[in-house]
Amino acid sequence: MKNINIKDLARELNLSVGTISKAFHDSYEISEDTKNRVLETARRLNYVPNPYASSLRGRRSKNIAVVIPEVADSFFSLAINGIESVAKEKGYHVLICLTHESFENEKTILQEFQGGRVDGVLMSVSRETSESAHILNLMGNGVPLVFFDRVLDEIDTAKITTDDFESGYKATEHLIQQGCDNIGFLGISECLSISNRRLEGYQKALNDYHVRYDSQQIINCTNDAVQNDILIRELLQGPNRPNGIVATVEKLTTPVYRASEALGLNIPADLKFVCFSNLETASILNPSLTTITQPAFEMGKIAATLLFKSLEKNDFNLSKESQVVPSRFIMRGSTI
C-alpha cells in the first residue's frame, strides 16, 4: 500500500541507507556485487526515489517550467512538443504555467518559482509585460531562464526568436506585389517585441514600395475575442477599408474570415490576408491561408537544449546563446 522508500530497501538488504543511495549513484565506494543486489531488489520491490527528497540535498527537482500566455495555440503547443522532447531525454518533467496574457499572473507565477519548485524556466512573455523586475529577481536567485518567441530585450539571457522583422517585411511585400495598396496590420501588443518587430518590417516594406502608411490601419488587438471581433469589423467597415491585412497571431484567423464573410467581402478578391500561424488547417481553409509559419517545434527544442546546458554546467553563459530561427513564408489562396 504505502510507497516503499530507501529505508525499506536498507532493511530488506541489511545495508545502511547511505550504501543504498551510493549504489544507485554508481559510487566507486560500493562493490559491483552490492550494486547489483541493490538494483535488483529495487526493481523487485518497485522502488522509485522521491525526487523532492533528493532535490533538498543539493540535487535538482528535475522539473522545469514553461511559462506561456496560452496553450490552445498551435505555435505554443508545438513548442511544448519540442521542449518535451528534450526534457524527456534528460529525465526532466515539464510544468506548464499559463499567464493568460496577464502580467499579474506572470508575476505571481515567477514569484512562486523563487521557492525552488523548478530548476529552470522557458518563457514567452505576456502581451502586457514590459517591466522585467520579476524576471531579474528570479534569475538573481539562480534560476536560469531562456526566452522563446516573445522576449524581453533588456534581459541578458538566451533568446530564441524567429526573424520577425524579415517576416513582417516579406508578408507585407507579398501583399503589395499582389496589388494591395492599403494594408492593415493586426498586432497584439504595443510592448511586445515580436509584434513591434513585425510591425517594423511592415513599415519598412510600405516605405520601400512607396505604399501609403496610415497609422489608423494599425490595430492593437486585445485579449478578448469579442472585443477583437468588434475591432476587426470596424476596420473592415470603415471608410478606409484595407484591401490587405497582415495579422501577427494565429487566433486572429477566424475573426478575420468571419468578419469578411459577414460583411460580404471576398478573400482574396476584396481583401488579401496573410497571418503568422502554425495552423495545420491553413491549407484547407476557405480560401487556404497564406501564412508565415514559425519553426515552433524547433524553437522549443533549441530553447530547452540551452536551458539544460546551463543546468548541467553552471559556468555556461546563456547570454551569448541567442538564436534567430527563420520562419517559412507559405503562399496560399488568401493572397492570390
Partner DNA sequence: CTTATTTGCGAAAACGGTTTCGCAAATAAA
Partner DNA sequence: TTTATTTGCGAAACCGTTTTCGCAAATAAG
In the complex, which residues of this chain contact DNA (CB under 7 A)? 3, 5-7, 14-22, 24-25, 29-31, 33-34, 47, 49-50, 53-54, 56-59, 115
Asked whether 239 and 211 are in contact (CB, 8 A), the reply is no
Residue keyed to cell 522585467:
132
**Segment near its own copies (CB under 8 A), from 30-38, 210-218, 233-241, 282-290?**
282-290
Q: Which residues pair with 292 in a beta bridge?
A: 276, 329
Phi then psi for residue 122, to 5 deg, are -110, 135
Q: Which does 285 bind (CB under 5 to 8 A by kind): DNA, its own copies, none?
A: its own copies
User: CB of residue 224 vs its own copies: minimum separation in angstroms?
Assistant: 15
Establish if 271 lies at the interface with its own copies (CB under 8 A): no
Q: Which does 305 bind (CB under 5 to 8 A by kind): its own copies, DNA, none?
A: none
Binding letters toward its own copies, positions 288-327, x by CB under 8 A: x---------------------------------------
The nearer residue to DNA, 21 or 196, going by C-beta atoms, is 21
**Segment near its own copies (CB under 8 A), from 112-120, 148-156, 307-315, 320-328?**
112-120
Judge if the upstream peptide bond of residue 287 is cis by omega within 30 degrees of 0: yes
Q: Which of 150, 93, 79, 130 is nearest to 297 (CA)?
A: 79
| Residue 46 Ramachandran class (φ > 0 left, ψ -120 to 50 alpha, else beta) | left
Listed in sequence order, the residues at least 6 apart from 252 whose beta carbon sits closer than 8 Å to its beta carbon are 186, 221, 228, 232, 275
Q: How far apart are CA 206 and CA 168, in angstroms?
A: 11
Rounded to an integer, what is the distance from CA 21 to the centroid of its chain?
37
Q: Residues touching its own copies: how many (CB under 8 A)?
A: 56
User: CB of residue 92 vs DNA: minimum separation in angstroms?
Assistant: 15
Residues forming the site for its own copies (CB under 8 A) = 1-3, 46, 48-53, 55-56, 61, 63, 70-74, 77-78, 80-81, 84, 93-98, 111-117, 137, 140-142, 251, 253-254, 257-258, 261, 279-281, 283-288
